[in-house]
Amino acid sequence: MEQALKGTDFSFPGQKKVYHGKVRDVYTLGNDQLVMVASDRISAFDHILPRAIPYKGQVLNQIASFFLKACSDILPTWVESSPDPHITIGLNCEPYKVEMVVRGYLSGHAWREYRDGKRLICGVSMPEGMKENDAFPEPILTPTTKAAEGHDEDISREEIIAQGIVDQAEYEQLEAYSRALFQRGTEIAAERGLILVDTKYEFGKREGEIHLIDEIHTPDSSRYFYKDTYQELQEKGEKQRQLSKEFVREWLIENGFQGLEGQSIPDMPDEFVSKVSDRYIELFEKITGTSFQKRDYEDIESQIEEAVLEHLKI
């Protein structure tokens, strides 16, 4: 297998702390900046899988950069620059402790809840008579709590406000931003022959102003269907062609893992790792309309460090 960036351990000038997330390594610098490194790690069911995926971090970082720029007229974003294929440097914002999940179609977690007989998700009613991957009459918002570790939990709008997690006025603004971002993402996807099925957004606050933070509309945070075959496959009750991380989850389920206690993560063979990498690259090319340029992995840590120092003018 080709080399992959499984993790980093830098010590940048003025560095205050570092947070190693499921996928990203986030360095907080003294001048109130963040250096976010998108590693090639992959997670599913809130577990980091043993094998890293070549070029995955580059794909995530560059798709996020594409969409953050395309949505910067809707609200301010945290981004200052992306001086290396795997990194973004930007403003340190205070994150809201909720993730805003927008669902245009009955898929993934929402479908599994529906299949099990539930018709209410995060306080939002789902119509009777739907089948997997049907479109909702209009997109629904199904927020989750932002867990530092373990599983994010579904939560309703009413609970968020009642518990004081976000005050009502700010939460209503987060909802409005989320709907506007989803509409923009839907329009861009449609231009490329894709359907934006569902996604999540994270927001932060800086100097009293809400900012869009983290990544958006990537295959880790979103699900896409192919537009040209959607209706035919739906009418036949067949599986949708999709570009997302869902097929990794499906492979894990088929191999006996859903993140439950006592289950062991199966080893991904080289062939499957290559397939995952190819799917990430395919989405990059499909959604951006440009050819993916594979980075050079030789001395990648040095490349990243040099790019950050150049940006900081050290």
Across 32-41, 89-98, 151-160, 183-192, least confident range:
151-160
48: in domain: no
226: in domain: yes
Looking at residues 120-138, what average pLDDT do you find?
A: 97
Q: Distance between CA 313 and CA 289 in Å, rounded?
A: 33
N-terminal to C-terminal alpha carbon distance within the chain: 36
Q: How far is CA 181 from the centre of its chain?
A: 14
**Cα→Cα distances 248→43, 236, 243, 252, 255, Å:** 9, 24, 11, 6, 11
On whether the CB atoms of residues 210 and 6 are closer than 8 A, the answer is no
Provide the percentage of residues in the chain whose pLDDT is more than 90: 85
82: in domain: no
276: in domain: no
pLDDT above 70: residue 6? yes
139: in domain: yes
pLDDT tens column, 61-98: 999 999 999 999 999 999 999 999 999 999 999 999 99
Q: What integer pLDDT is reported at residue 246 of this predicted model?
A: 79
**Residue 264 burial (CB < 10 Å; 0-12/13-18/19+)?**
exposed
Bridge partners of residue 43, in order along the sequence: 48
Tokens encoding 222: 């979103």
Q: What integer pLDDT is reported at residue 314 of this predicted model?
A: 55
Looking at residues 134-149, what average pLDDT do you find?
A: 88
Looking at residues 191-202, what average pLDDT do you find?
A: 96
Burial code (b: 16+ CB inside 10 Å, e: under 16) for 224-242 equals bbeeeebeeebeeeeebeb
208: in domain: yes
On whether the CB atoms of residues 235 and 247 are closer than 8 A, the answer is no
- List the CATH number of the domain containing 236: 3.30.470.20
Q: What integer pLDDT is reported at residue 202 of this predicted model?
A: 96
124: in domain: yes
Q: What integer pLDDT is reported at residue 245 of this predicted model?
A: 80
If you ran DSSP here, which 8-state letter would residue 28 be given? E
pLDDT tens column, 200-240: 999 999 999 999 999 999 888 899 999 999 999 999 999 99
Split at pLDDT 50, 70, 90, the class of 243 is confident
Q: What integer pLDDT is reported at residue 148 of this predicted model?
A: 57
Split at pLDDT 50, 70, 90, the class of 169 is very high
Q: Provide the residue range defining the domain that includes 160.
A: 95-244
Q: What integer pLDDT is reported at residue 92 of this predicted model?
A: 94
123: in domain: yes
Instruction: Quickly count: other Cβ atoms within 10 Å of residue 102's Cβ.
Output: 24
Q: What integer pLDDT is reported at residue 150 of this predicted model?
A: 53
Number of domains in the chain: 1
Q: What integer pLDDT is reported at residue 132 of this predicted model?
A: 97
Across 16-20, 98-102, 193-197, 247-251, least confident range:
247-251
Q: What is the pTM (predicted TM-score) of this model?
A: 0.88
Looking at residues 179-190, what average pLDDT do you find?
A: 97
Split at pLDDT 50, 70, 90, the class of 3 is confident
pLDDT above 60: residue 100? yes
